[in-house]
Amino acid sequence: MSRSILILLGHPDRDSLCGALAQRYATAAENAGHQVRLIALGELEFDPVLRHGYRQIQPLEPDLQDAADAIEACDHLVLVYPTWWGAMPALLKGFFDRVLLPGYAFRYRRDSVWWDRLLAGRSARVITTLDTPPWYYRWIYRDPGIVQIRATILEFCGIRPVRVSRLGAVRGSTPAQRERWLAVAADLGARAR
């Protein structure tokens, strides 16, 4: 079954390991017959600061509106980014702050602690690189960035399941190790996972 896949590259530099991982995933998914779009957030023009919170919603810049439309059109979302200071880069967080707004991604219910998840029906894959060994990040640090992106962002908006690939440690890795990570991304893309 062909899927509509949107890949968001959350590293500000397309010429990075994350950029190569995103491209490898995209190429393999396209070769497997899936519809693929890759958006490099570092190439978009937008203000990443939600200036007034939800009191006064800023109009989306054209690049953000295009990305929001692409999220609505996809059935599988792939996020590729480095883990910096325990979580996603500010660029990706600012993108989420600006795009995943009430009325688009979720809706609070009146007089209730519950909300409606408006992006249900989509799955996600998170591919994140780490300088920390993945086991250390997961078991010692307790996966803070993964908890944030999985539970309090994607699942909050209805996107599930959210599968995660932690690749590391990048610092000190060999070309052979990086090539194995690129092969992992290609395998995930070919299977649209």
Block residue for tokens 């007034």: 52
pLDDT the model gives residue 57: 87
Average pLDDT over residues 5-33: 99
Q: How many Å apart are CA 67 and CA 15, to the nearest integer?
A: 21
**Could you say which DSSP state residue 176 is in?**
H
CATH number belonging to the domain at 4-190, selected among 3.40.50.360, 3.40.1160.10, 3.90.550.10, 3.30.420.40: 3.40.50.360
What type of residue sits at position 24? R
pLDDT the model gives residue 135: 97
Six-digit token string for 24:
């490898």
Q: How many Å apart are CA 37 and CA 27, to the nearest integer?
A: 10
Of 193, 192, 189, the closest CA to residue 28 belongs to 189
What type of residue sits at position 105? A
**Could you say which DSSP state residue 102 is in?**
B
Give the model confidence (pLDDT) of 146-167 as tens digits. 999 999 999 999 999 999 999 9
Give the model confidence (pLDDT) of 71-130 as tens digits. 999 999 999 999 999 999 999 999 999 999 999 999 999 999 999 999 999 999 999 999
Six-digit token string for 57:
């919603």
Give the model confidence (pLDDT) of 26-73 as tens digits. 999 999 999 999 999 999 999 999 999 999 989 999 999 999 999 999
Instruction: Find residue 71's DSSP bridge partners.
Output: none
What type of residue sits at position 111? D
pLDDT the model gives residue 147: 98
Six-digit token string for 123:
């799955």
Domain borders along the chain are 4-190
pLDDT the model gives residue 1: 86
Contact by Cβ (8 Å): 148, 87: yes
Contact by Cβ (8 Å): 83, 137: yes
Of 8, 38, 28, 76, the closest CA to residue 183 belongs to 28
Of 24, 31, 33, the closest CA to residue 4 belongs to 33
